[in-house]
């Protein structure tokens, strides 16, 4: 018997309204904008845009996790994380088509995308859309600024807990796949340091981490170990997206 393939738009888990920016639009703008979007699978390690190269699309994830990464000769560090709460393609909103950071998929998921030209028109014709994107840009800037302070001032264990909480929020799953190498790259430290930090969180009964799979066992406990940066970034985002 033939089984009809559901299109992405028909799958509730991956409907455009699963992206919080799209979901916050007034109905008329939501309909206009989503009619110009195409589904785009976010597969781990896919580069959405390369550093200092033209950005061809704006992306609105409905699941998964995208990292904004700054790569230098000495190594690469994550400077921002984007999931279903946001969008990727900031320069397209701010009058440019590139930036010095790369956007790469860290955890597999789904998204919708729109070409740079169609995005520019959509921003021009839809004031609520433009306002939400502006406010999310500020949230993203604040996230990056908080990360700078966090990386300089807070312990690796706290930062590891913070990153796991941010990822837990974005994935909306109790368990997700993340290798030691990816975690070290996201925290900007070498692998042995990650082993140490993850080991401490595991011994404290907060996570279970085996064969690249992280399971959040005690969310409250993880919040207790995380530095204040998690809550500062989260509450700032909520204020901006609701305002």
CB < 8 Å & 24+ apart, contacts of 183-192: 185/69, 185/75, 185/76, 185/77, 185/78, 186/67, 186/78, 186/81, 186/106, 187/78, 187/156, 187/159, 187/160, 187/163, 188/75, 188/77, 188/78, 188/151, 189/156
Total binding residues toward Zn ion, as defined by CB under 5 A: 4
Report the distance separating Cα 58 and Cα 115, nearest Å: 6
Q: Cα 50 from chain centroid?
A: 16
Report the distance separating Cα 123 and Cα 116, nearest Å: 11
In the complex, the smallest distance separating the C-beta of residue 220 from Zn ion, rounded to whole angstroms, is 18
In the complex, the smallest distance separating the C-beta of residue 71 from Zn ion, rounded to whole angstroms, is 22
Tell whether residue 32 is a contact of Zn ion (CB under 5 A).
Answer: no
Q: Which stretch binds Zn ion (CB under 5 A): 47-55, 58-66, 101-109, 151-159?
A: 151-159
φ and ψ at 62, to 5 degrees? -110, -10
Q: Which is nearer to Zn ion, 118 or 232 (CB)?
A: 232
In the complex, the smallest distance separating the C-beta of residue 164 from Zn ion, rounded to whole angstroms, is 13
Q: Which is nearer to Zn ion, 196 or 228 (CB)?
A: 228
Q: Which is nearer to Zn ion, 133 or 161 (CB)?
A: 161
In the complex, the smallest distance separating the C-beta of residue 99 from Zn ion, rounded to whole angstroms, is 24
Q: Which stretch binds Zn ion (CB under 5 A): 43-51, 176-184, 192-200, 220-228?
A: 220-228
| Residue 179 in tokens | 């290798």
Tell whether residue 150 is a contact of Zn ion (CB under 5 A).
Answer: yes
Q: Which residue bears the tokens 């021009």?
A: 124
Q: Which stretch binds Zn ion (CB under 5 A): 34-42, 103-111, 121-129, 224-232?
A: 224-232
Q: Which stretch binds Zn ion (CB under 5 A): 15-23, 91-99, 122-130, 143-151?
A: 143-151
Interface positions with Zn ion (CB under 5 A): 150, 154, 227, 229
């Amino acid at each position: 018997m033939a089984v009809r393939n559901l299109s992405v738009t028909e799958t509730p888990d991956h409907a455009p309204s699963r992206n919080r920016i799209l979901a916050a639009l007034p109905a008329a703008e939501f309909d206009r904008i989503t009619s110009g979007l195409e589904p785009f699978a976010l597969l781990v390690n896919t580069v959405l845009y390369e550093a200092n190269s033209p950005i061809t699309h704006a992306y609105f994830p409905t699941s998964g996790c995208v990292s904004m990464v700054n790569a230098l000769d000495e190594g690469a560090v994550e400077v921002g994380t984007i999931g279903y709460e946001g969008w990727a393609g900031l320069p397209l909103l701010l009058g440019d088509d590139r930036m010095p950071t790369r956007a790469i998929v860290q955890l597999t998921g789904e998204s919708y995308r729109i070409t740079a030209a169609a995005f520019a028109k959509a921003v021009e014709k839809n004031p609520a859309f433009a306002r939400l994107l502006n406010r999310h840009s500020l949230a993203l800037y604040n996230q990056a600024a908080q990360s700078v302070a966090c990386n300089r001032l807070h312990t690796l264990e706290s930062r590891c807990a913070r990153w796991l909480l941010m990822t837990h929020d974005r994935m909306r799953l109790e368990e997700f796949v993340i290798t030691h190498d990816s975690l070290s790259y996201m925290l900007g430290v070498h692998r042995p340091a990650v082993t140490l930090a993850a080991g401490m969180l595991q011994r404290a009964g907060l996570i279970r981490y085996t064969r690249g799979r992280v399971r959040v066992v005690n969310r409250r406990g993880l919040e207790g170990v995380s530095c204040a940066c998690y809550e500062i970034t989260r509450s700032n985002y909520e204020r901006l997206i609701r305002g």
